[in-house]
A and B are shown apart, each in its own frame.
Chain A
Amino acid sequence: MSTNGRGFWGDLSQLTRAVGRAMGITLKNLGRKPVTVMYPDSPRPYPDRFRGVLALTYDHETGEENCIGCRLCEYICPPQVIKVEMLKTEKRNYAKTFTLELYACEFCELCVQVCPTDAIIMMKSFDLATSDRREMLLDKDRLHAIGLDFAPSWATGNKLRDMQAPPKPARGEAKGPATAPEGRAVAPEGRAVAPEGRAVAPEGRAVAPEGKAKESAE
């Protein structure tokens, strides 16, 4: 049977050992706890950065819509599922209409990355099943409603852009090494509210490079 040339008894003993080993491993797995997660009875833990369904946000303090209708997301979307019309008023711009075809969306997060005002974000939910595809053509009201329904994911435009390039260190520490990844990653999480958080962070971070520069000098 096998071509090892061990002779009949050698082959037979190899067969017996292999059979025993394979069956032993299956038996061992019989005793292990199953890895099944009984969804939807038990909830699925979403990681922080989960790229789920898209939503539009309101500003935390003023309650106004964040979206200024700049159409950057529309231009960058690879399958071109976003369509925006801008509405100009004296104070600021809005999006008059904002449609997102969720059935064609790739969930690539590029629109989130480019948004200058953190208006469009992704939520920690993938419950998209509907019985009618028209329900997945999201208009502005639906998108805002989704933003209030689910937990938002960590990523917003500013956080993603900041992660890609560390903010410029305060003057005098321009040559210091960049902040450690753990340090950099901690700060975004601490920033629950974008505007104030960003005001605080540069000072907070100005301390760290200084400390690091001292350590590296020693």
Chain B
Amino acid sequence: MPPLAYHALMGFIVLNAVIVMVTYVTLLERKFAARMQSRIGPYYVGRPHGWLQPIADALKLMMKEDVVPTLADRRVYNLAPIAFLIPCVLIFATIPFAPGLGVADLNIGVLFFLAVSSLEIVGLFMGGWGSNNKYALLSAMRAVNQIISYDLPFVFAALVPVLLTGSMQMSAIVSAQAGLPFVAYPIIGQLAFVFFIVATLAAENRVPFDILEAESELVAGFRVEYSGMKFALIQLGEYAHMLGTSFLGALLFLGGWLGPGPAWLGPIWFLLKAMFIFLLVTWVRWSFVRIRVDQILAISWKLLLPATIVLLLATGFVVAVGGSRVH
């Protein structure tokens, strides 16, 4: 099959798979959170465990009226969900789900992922600005502040496995974990994993760093004026990004598709590991109150960034002394 057709087909399959996965991951999160709060979560739609709830939500959002506020900047307002969604889904292009199974296994895979994932800020700010709403604007400004501040520690934490491998190609990083997943690497691996999780929380606007949406103050933040399909696209983008960083974490730190059993079990292991990271982030999310925006920024600039820089330097030192595990 000509490579262009192959990549297009894979892209199409991955896109659809991502969308389905994203809708069902919302159900997983709701059930998990519900059990932590002594309640049941979605139940009635698709008894007995709410299996059809995501479908019902998607249908409902599709059927809603498309409202544009009077004084909103129409073009910006309408383009914002798309500008937000595209980078969030594009990151899946570089993730290999099994050796050779992926849309494009670039040899700068990690760099592409990190660079594209930070483009969502543009869509976010467009949404906040175009809504003609003070709450949305306030939240968009806070969000830009926060995501920019946390992208740096995020990148540095994600670079630790890259340094340990010596290559930015994702399949190479996974192969380098054949003996030991990087999270088990003494001290450096664990610290990098913890920083990665914290930076993920912040880059995803998850509690305790969710000053962006802050339902009780800003009533859904930059999304406040969106309803219907545009809101669905924004939600889709947010959860897709969340899932994408979970997959990245599983790949970088937990060994990707490596696991006991036959080779075709690889993608299953990958999915399980990604779900583990997702549930870990969800668990943190449902346990803590949020902190103020200036405190969030203080943590990033005064605590996390120096820590990740030092970690990266230490990793570099270790690699230089010990030699990298190039595949």
Question: Which A residues are closer than 8 A to B by beta carbons?
Answer: 1, 19, 22-23, 25-27, 29-30, 32-36, 38
Contact = CB atoms under 8 A, between A and B. Distances in A.
Contact of B39 (A19, A26, A36): A36
B326 interface: no
A9 to B, nearest CB: 13
A29 B40 contact: no
B167 to A, nearest CB: 33
Contacts of B40: 34, 36, 38
B299 A22 contact: no
Interface residues of B, number: 18
A29 B303 CA distance: 32
B286 interface: yes
B36 A29 contact: yes
Contacts of A36: 38-40
A34 B39 CA distance: 5
Interface of B: 32, 34-40, 43, 283-284, 286-288, 295, 298-299, 303
Contact of B38 (A1, A27, A34, A38): A34
Contact of A35 (B36, B39, B283): B39
Contacts of B36: 26-27, 29-30
20 contacts: A1-B295, A1-B298, A19-B284, A22-B287, A23-B283, A23-B284, A26-B283, A26-B286, A26-B287, A29-B35, A29-B36, A30-B32, A30-B36, A33-B38, A34-B35, A34-B38, A34-B40, A35-B39, A36-B39, A38-B43
A15 to B, nearest CB: 10
Contacts of B283: 23, 26-27
Of A22, A23, A26, A29, which is in contact with the most chain B CB atoms at under 10 Å from its CB? A26
Contacts, number: 39
Nearest to B303: A1
B38 A29 contact: yes
Contacts of B32: 30
A36 B303 CA distance: 42
Chain A to chain B: the 3 pairs with minimum beta-carbon distance, closest first: A26-B287, A26-B36, A36-B40
Given A1-B295, A1-B298, A1-B299, A32 B38 contact: yes
Contacts of A34: 34-35, 38-40
Contacts of B303: 1
Contacts of B287: 22-23, 25-26
Contacts of B37: 29
Contacts of B295: 1
A10 to B, nearest CB: 14
B134 to A, nearest CB: 29
Contacts of A26: 36, 283, 286-287
A36 B288 CA distance: 23
A33 to B, nearest CB: 8
Nearest to B280: A23
B53 to A, nearest CB: 16
Contacts of B284: 19, 23
A87 B295 CA distance: 75
Nearest to A24: B287
A19 B35 CA distance: 19
A35 B303 CA distance: 40
A158 to B, nearest CB: 42
Contacts of A35: 38-39
Nearest to A35: B38
Of B38, B39, B43, B299, which is in contact with the most chain A CB atoms at under 10 Å from its CB? B38
Contacts of A38: 40, 43
A27 B33 CA distance: 10
Given A1-B295, A1-B298, A27-B283, A22 B35 contact: no
B288 A22 contact: yes
